[in-house]
Amino acid sequence: MTARDEIPLRDADQVMRLSRMGSFHQSRLSFMRILLRRMRNENWQFDAPDWHVNENGVGRAVYTVHGPSRAYSLVAFAHDLPDEMRSDRVIATAWDTTFTLFDGIPTDDDIARLAQNVPLQEAGRISVRELTLSRANRSARLWDFVVANLSAGRQPDPESLKTVGYVMRTTAVYGSGKFGAADHGTIQDRPEFAAPFQAEMLTVYLIRCFVMDLLDHNAKCAGGKRAVKLSPKLRRALGIGNSTGLGMAPFLVNHPTLLHQWIAARETALARVRGIKTVTDGERDVMIHHAKSAHINAMNWHSQHPMQIAKVTELQSDMVMLCKEITRIGDAPYPWDRLYRWAAQNLTSEGLEQVVSILMEPYGDVVDDLADAMSIDESAHFYIDGTQAMGHVKSLIAKHFDWALKTDFGAGDEQARFWYVSAAKLEPRLGERDAEQGHELEQPLAIGRDVAALYRAITQDETVAHFLRKHPEHRHILRRVQMVEKFPYAEIRDNLLHAQMMPIDMLRCKLSFFGATHFDPRSDRWLRICMFQNAPFPDELYVPGNWVYPEPTGAI
Amino acid sequence: MLSRSETIAMVKRGARGAGYSWGMAEEIAQACATLCAHGINAQPVLAQYLQAVDGHVDALAMQSWPLNQERVCPFHLGCFIAESGFSDDHHQFNGVQSPVFLLPYVQRMATVQGRNLHISGAGMAVDVGADYIAGDISMDAQGQVMITADEYTLTPPSTSPCYPAQYCDVMDRLGQKTMVPDSDESRANGAGD
């Protein structure tokens, strides 16, 4: 184990700002990488796919993977979807492909049952034998382009692939009991699902395998003997896209203790690496290597959104500075702490948070164990301590929600928006308070405003139980105030109702923990990303190398 | 059958739609899930209860302590007694509506106190400990309820968790009241889809 000293964690007031969370990048602690490490370390075995897709690209396939004690199977359905029906919106009713992750190896009866339900997605019903439900659509232009090239016997132009990074994108990956699937609580004791979202990550990983095989299959059907398979290098460069909208945004607010675990793990990792007193030349070389990779990734990062274009441009510049600074860091003690402090002074938020991720890269032995602490039994922290004095609650608010107490929620911009659930689409939405109806049906996501209201309502030092008996309207927010005493990273310390608030910052934070790359906002409230791009396929898991960013020339 | 997470989401929306605060709606969903986890199907009586109090839940909230009202909401009372840190050996409450919903809160008390509690009255005689709820459970009773610290005598049934889909339509109807219909303005603002 690398020797290190204690460095304090970054303060929640600094980390839990939307602008900062909206600059997070994937890291060793991202859920995709946790899964990849486990599959490699435990020598998971992948069966050849059970392939029943016809010459029109329609049919099904089963991809089974064997862990140390259990098997899981992706059951994939490929459909013939007319172009005019292809939509990434939640109201879509048909997709190019649909999937479920089956707990075990499905029988013919299971397959028949799933064939009746999985293609329907929300309109169907799965069972406790299934762990996830998902669907994906082709990136129409790129899919046809790749298939046309392969069927004509040539590899597609790599630059064309690089711009998008995927040929198919998921529009939802449901887990945790949705639509009848197994509750997370029923599988969380399995080591392979101890870290968050592992069933969902495994689903997407296997979807990527299926999509690559489907590409080759369709090219072969179109081109016959002339067709070639996509080269391993190009396969590796393709991930699975994902379109994500506001539906994901409230997750971080609705799971405060879980959010804390994620952030605390990341911050602890940073503090541990900053606390390393001396480094070897080899570790320094690995750091430089990963900085160069991140630089290439930044250069390949394309977006159409003006805000993100500006951020990526700044990141590219930051990475140039970083690569130089690492070589200049010298032999004085605590080089990574000095590098971090230099980055905090000289780089943008986007660049600084990229440095946080890069710093972890050479130090799996220092940080990887933190993955075990990223889940939590949320129900254990649900209950309110009614014996606590309201005076203490008031002091907690003053300590952790100072930003909310300083906000004038009566001012126009501060409460310009409201979160609601659409009756038509059953999905979270963001409304304009002055222009739209329905703000009286606001969801409880106005954390800052409601904390401030609780603070004002505390007029005597009674117990919490007696206060809530008289004021049940404050129960939801009082629960959160008590949580933040133990879980300081549980709350986003920004006003989620503000006129200028960017919901994509919340999406970016969550998706960075998934391990997503190439965040490409399409508005302030939805974006596209890439998952598992550059990740090893099953036969490549044991080959050393970078699992996320492209390898720099002269790779170690 | 529903999953546990579907049950919690549905009941939370339904309780909020009936008029409970968001925090109480969370409690009610958690209480319902706890009963389901013990194989107790209280969904029909919950649907009936929420329909009955729909729009006037405040009337059954606790007006004072000690209690001095004809009818009291089991969820408000349950939260209060579970959170107050009581350690007395005997409690008696009058006018408790659908007291089956006190059981999750009595279980929390039993867990904190580390002992068996017995709940009786209103047609019930139930032993409650940290990991069991055993005895005669009346679904539709109301009235006087006593909670006492007794040795357990009733044998816990060997039940499996059960999250029935009965009465989803009632919950969904109530839950719809928490949602906002599309409007020209929301469509014009691009709402977020």
User: What's the 3-state SS for chain B?
Assistant: CCCHHHHHHHHHHHHHHHCCCHHHHHHHHHHHHHHHHCCCCCHHHHHHHHHHHCCCHHHHCCCCCCCCCCCECHHHHHHHHHHCCCCCCEEEEEEEECHHHHHHHHHHHHHHHCCCEEEEECCEEEEEECCEEEEECCCCCEEEEEEECCCCCCCCCCCCCCCCCCCHHHHHHHHHCCCECCCHHHHHCCCCC
Which tokens in the block code for residue A169?
A: 């994108």
pLDDT tens, residue by residue, B166-191: 889 999 999 999 999 988 877 776 65
Residue of A nearest to B62 (CA): A469
Taking only the tens of pLDDT, chain A with its 556 residues reads 566 778 999 999 999 999 999 999 999 999 999 999 999 999 999 999 999 999 999 999 999 999 999 999 999 999 998 888 888 776 688 999 999 999 999 999 999 999 999 999 999 999 999 999 999 999 978 999 999 999 999 999 998 888 789 999 999 999 999 999 999 999 999 999 999 999 999 999 999 999 999 999 999 999 999 999 999 999 999 999 998 888 888 999 999 999 999 999 999 999 999 999 999 999 999 999 999 999 999 998 888 888 889 999 999 999 999 999 999 998 899 999 999 999 999 999 999 999 999 999 999 999 999 999 999 999 999 999 999 999 999 999 999 999 999 999 998 899 999 999 999 888 899 999 999 999 999 999 999 999 999 999 999 999 999 999 999 999 999 999 999 999 999 999 999 999 999 999 999 999 999 999 999 988 888 899 999 999 999 999 998 878 888 888 644 3
Q: Could you identify the residue written with the tokens 């391993």?
A: A232
User: Residue A9 domain-assigned?
Assistant: no
A235 and A295, same domain (yes or no): no
User: Residue A525 domain-assigned?
Assistant: no
User: Residue A273 domain-assigned?
Assistant: no
Give the Å distances, CA to CA, from A206 to A198, A495, B5. Answer: 12, 38, 25
> What are the chain A neighbours of B193 within 8 Å (beta carbons)?
89-91, 245-246, 422, 425, 427, 429
DSSP run (H or E) holding A74: strand A71-78
Residues in contact with B40: Cβ distance below 8 Å, sequence separation at least 6, in sequence order: B100, B103, B133, B137, B159, B162
Q: Is A89 on the interface with B (CB under 8 A)?
A: yes
Short-list A42, A44, A81, CA closest to A63: A44
Let me know: does A99 contact A205? Beta carbons within 8 Å: no
> What are the chain A neighbours of B108 within 8 Å (beta carbons)?
383
Last residue in a domain, options A342, A362, A382:
A362
User: Residue A5 domain-assigned?
Assistant: no
pLDDT tens, residue by residue, B76-102: 999 999 999 998 999 999 999 999 999
User: How far A503 CA sits from the closest chain B CA (Å)?
Assistant: 10
User: Residue A299 domain-assigned?
Assistant: yes
User: Residue A497 domain-assigned?
Assistant: no
Short-list A536, A555, A530, A545, CA closest to A25: A530
A225 and A287, same domain (yes or no): no
> What are the chain B neighbours of A441 within 8 Å (beta carbons)?
177-180
Give the Å distances, CA to CA, from A72 to A76, A80, A100, A197, B160. Answer: 13, 26, 10, 15, 25
Rounded Cα–Cα distance for residues A222 and A151 (Å): 6
Best of A475, A478, A522 to substitute, by most chain B Cβ atoms within 10 angstroms, is: A475
Last residue in a domain, options A193, A226, A246:
A246
Short-list B7, B35, B15, B46, CA closest to A183: B7
Give the Å distances, CA to CA, from A397 to A93, A405, B176. Answer: 46, 8, 33
A172 and A100, same domain (yes or no): yes
Least CB-CB distance to B4: which of A183, A424, A503?
A: A183
Largest CA distance in chain B: 64
User: How far B159 CA sits from the closest chain A CA (Å)?
Assistant: 16
Short-list B41, B72, B54, CA closest to B162: B41
Q: Is A449 on the interface with B (CB under 8 A)?
A: no
A200 and A332, same domain (yes or no): no
Q: What is the domain range of residue A85?
A: 31-246
Least CB-CB distance to B83: which of A386, A426, A432?
A: A386
> What are the chain B neighbours of A178 within 8 Å (beta carbons)?
3, 5-6
Short-list A266, A256, A296, A239, CA closest to A23: A266
Beta bridge pairs of residue B135? B126
User: Residue A411 domain-assigned?
Assistant: no
> What are the chain B neighbours of A177 within 8 Å (beta carbons)?
3-6
State CA B32 to chain mean position distance: 5
Q: How many domains, in total, are found in chain A?
A: 2
Q: Where are the domains of chain B?
A: 4-175
Give the Å distances, CA to CA, from A553 to A38, A232, A289, A550, B118. Answer: 28, 18, 10, 9, 72
Rounded Cα–Cα distance for residues A372 and A262 (Å): 10
Last residue in a domain, options A190, A225, A246:
A246
User: Residue A4 domain-assigned?
Assistant: no
